[in-house]
């Protein structure tokens, strides 16, 4: 049986130099809105959207707008998310900042309210 080299199993022609892949910055070609992370946090806790909205003091429509990627996490919403989900507000702000930067890098025009 012949041994397969990394280049023979590399469908995307990514350089196989071991040092190269470790030093290149990670730049995915997709974006993930912070609402997706929030969905995961809600599911992980076994909460419903209604219960989560109640805990946050938001309307169900406001929560679903964030979950659907239609609104941004702001300096006003991040501290509340931090309290309810036992994280830092900076965690949520970083997710939003990363999303914004990735959209800009990929040329995705996203202007949620």
71-112 per-position pLDDT tens digit: 999 999 999 999 999 999 999 999 999 999 999 988 888 765
Whole-angstrom Cα distance, residue 97 to residue 78?
12
In a domain, 52, yes or no: yes
Question: Cβ distance 92 to 81 under 8 Å?
Answer: yes
CATH number of the domain bearing residue 58: 1.10.260.40
27-60 per-position pLDDT tens digit: 767 788 999 999 999 999 999 999 999 999 999 9
For 51, the domain range is 34-106
| pTM exceeds 0.85 for this model | no
Number of domains in the chain: 1
């Amino acid at each position: 049986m012949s041994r397969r080299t990394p280049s023979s199993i590399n469908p995307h022609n990514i350089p196989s130099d071991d040092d190269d892949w470790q030093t290149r910055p990670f730049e995915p070609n997709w974006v993930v809105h912070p609402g997706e992370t929030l969905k995961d946090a809600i599911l992980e806790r076994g909460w419903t959207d209604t219960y989560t909205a109640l805990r946050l003091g938001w309307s169900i429509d406001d929560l679903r707008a964030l979950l659907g990627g239609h609104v941004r996490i702001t300096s006003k919403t991040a501290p509340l998310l931090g309290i309810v989900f036992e994280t830092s507000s900076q965690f949520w702000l970083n997710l939003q900042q990363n999303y914004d930067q990735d959209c800009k890098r990929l040329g995705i025009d996203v202007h949620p309210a």
